[in-house]
Amino acid sequence: MSLLDDARRLAATGPVCDACLGRVFADRSFGLTNAERGRSLRVAAALDDDEPFDPVDIADCWVCEGRCATFDDWAERAAESVETIEFETYQVGTRTPPLIEENERLLREEVGADPDAGEPFKMEFNREVGKRVGRLTETEVDFERPDVQFVLDVDADRVETTINSAFVYGRYRKLERDIPQTEWPCRECDGSGRQGSEPCDHCDGSGYLYDRSVEGLIAPLVEDVMDGVDAVFHGAGREDVDARMLGTGRPFVVEVKEPRRRDIDVERLESDVNAFAEGAVEVEGLRLATYEMVERVKRLDASKTYRAAVAFDDPVDADALAGALDELDGATVEQYTPQRVDHRRANLTRTREVYAMSGDLDDSTHATVEIHGAGGLYVKELVSGDDGRTEPSLAGLLGVGARVTDLDVLAVEGEDEPFEDDAYFA
Ligand SMILES: [Zn+2]
Ligand SMILES: [Zn+2]
């Protein structure tokens, strides 16, 4: 059976529009629309038969029931739904009515073709409407992670538009103590600020245990400049509430949901955040990032550098301290889950590396110690020994009780590569 014979038999099933006819042969030749394929076959058959050419009105097509005439209309509706939204990439998906899927199968059955011959209605719809959306909005199609996603629900006659999140990467310093990284809802009232009809007395009705957080000082400003509906803060780990984050800062990503603006001035945002946070928190290196940066920030193995103020229960001499620090420098320590740690975490012994450790006495019962360790190293316990749960420890080696009175994190760096990789920036 020849191509023209197949086309004749398909066309004889009833009125079939050019696109629905051509779609059966979508895998033949390139650079043609299915409508061009269908029309060409119809013309060729008319010439071959020397019969008058008989065009089909798309509205009469029994396969798509006229839907192949609606590409422009769908594209205009999709473009209208994002008129006030700034975006660079999009993707179009189509929910095909089951009746049309059935018609496509019946059409192919007529010529004994594979039920999936050519391409499905859905693919043509996605492509044809997609091309038009791109022209109307001057944006590019992206099949991976577009800024905006349209689903054309043909039966429901509705465009469903999803605006994907936008991401800003940066590093923060926390210059004051007693600021949690993320907002910390009051456990007495579950963040509601109320107990029954009364304001919660544990949090004075605020719903939060702390009135400031790193998240609260940064994320709302990013949300605001991107004109989104919500913002989520993702940190590369977190320091204790009472620890400062100094030095080169800690990587983070703010995810803004349903942003109306994406191409923002990050330098201006940086200075706005720094002005708003009034010296409690500072950000630097803000850059627009990709979706994948969230996972990178959360999962990349990172080492930490700390500076700890240590108080000893009894006087310590400089040589003994130097000797103990020398032992710990480069040591592998075993840490049983610390007593202070949330007991939802499994109790087990972890092995952690201390890459470097050094320090000096400030006076006979106080020292300042700098520690560079693998991610997950419990620094307070490395100093105190945690009643023998951490081995070796500074207290254990000195034979003197020791505890961290102040802790600063100086650096959070990827173990094998820096967080800042161009592949993760937009
Ligand atoms: Zn049709
Ligand atoms: Zn409360």
Question: pLDDT by residue (tens digit) across 246-275?
Answer: 999 999 999 999 999 999 999 999 999 999
Active site residue 319: no
Asked whether the predicted pLDDT for residue 342 surpasses 70, the reply is: no
The class (CATH top level) of 302-414 is: alpha beta
Query: What pLDDT is recorded for position 54?
Result: 85
Query: What pLDDT is recorded for position 85?
Result: 96
Determine contact, residues 90/134, Cβ cutoff 8 Å.
yes
Task: Say how many Å lie between the CA of residue 219 and the centre of ligand 2.
Answer: 23
Task: Say how many Å lie between the CA of residue 151 and the centre of ligand 1.
Answer: 20
Complete DSSP assignment for 3-55: HHHHHHHHHTTS---HHHHHHTTTTSSSS--HHHHHHHHHHHHHHHHT-----
408 vs 214, 313, 338, CA distance in Å? Answer: 15, 21, 19
Ligand nearest to the CA of 186: 2
Instruction: Answer with the residue of higher pLDDT: 384 or 1.
Output: 384
Asked whether the predicted pLDDT for residue 345 surpasses 90, the reply is: no
Ligand nearest to the CA of 204: 2
Query: What pLDDT is recorded for position 100?
Result: 96
Task: Say how many Å lie between the CA of residue 66 and the centre of ligand 1.
Answer: 6
pLDDT band at 146 (very low <50, low <70, confident <90, very high): very high
Percent of the chain with pLDDT over 90: 87
Ligand nearest to the CA of 201: 2
* Over residues 208-223, mean pLDDT: 94
Query: What pLDDT is recorded for position 203?
Result: 87
79 membership: H or E segment, kind and range:
helix 71-81
150 membership: H or E segment, kind and range:
strand 148-153
* Over residues 196-207, mean pLDDT: 88
Query: What pLDDT is recorded for position 64?
Result: 96
Task: Say how many Å lie between the CA of residue 25 and the centre of ligand 1.
Answer: 14
Cα–Cα distance, 210 to 186 (Å, whole number): 9
Ligand nearest to the CA of 59: 1
Percent of the chain with pLDDT over 70: 99
Query: What pLDDT is recorded for position 348?
Result: 87
Task: Say how many Å lie between the CA of residue 288 and the centre of ligand 1.
Answer: 44
Q: Which residues of 302-313 are buried (b: 16+ CB within 10 A; e: fewer)?
A: bbbbbbbbbebe
Residue in 188, 209, 87, 98 with CA at minimum distance from that of residue 137: 87
Query: pLDDT tens, 158-181?
Result: 999 999 999 999 999 999 999 999
Map residue 373 onto helix, strand or coil: strand
Binding residue numbers for substrate: 306, 378
Phi, psi dihedrals of residue 251, rounded to the nearest 5°:
-65, 145
Asked whether the predicted pLDDT for residue 197 surpasses 70, the reply is: yes
Amino acid identity of 310? V
Task: Say how many Å lie between the CA of residue 126 and the centre of ligand 1.
Answer: 15
DSSP at 185: B
Task: Say how many Å lie between the CA of residue 9 and the centre of ligand 1.
Answer: 15
Residues of the chain with CATH 3.30.70.3190: 302-414
Query: pLDDT tens, 39-83?
Result: 999 999 999 999 999 899 999 999 999 999 999 999 999 999 999
How would CATH label the architecture of 166-299? Answer: 2-Layer Sandwich (3.30)
Phi, psi dihedrals of residue 283, rounded to the nearest 5°:
-120, 155
Q: Of the residues 142, 224, 240, 272, which is catalytic?
A: 240
Residue 180 tokens read as 């949690």
Residue in 326, 315, 324, 327 with CA at minimum distance from that of residue 366: 315
pLDDT band at 1 (very low <50, low <70, confident <90, very high): low
Mean of all residue pLDDT scores within the chain: 95
* Over residues 390-395, mean pLDDT: 97
Complete DSSP assignment for 267-280: HHHHHHHHHHTTTS
Cα–Cα distance, 224 to 247 (Å, whole number): 28
- C-alpha Rg value of the chain to the nearest Å: 33
Binding residue numbers: 306, 378
Residues of the chain with CATH 3.30.70.2510: 166-299
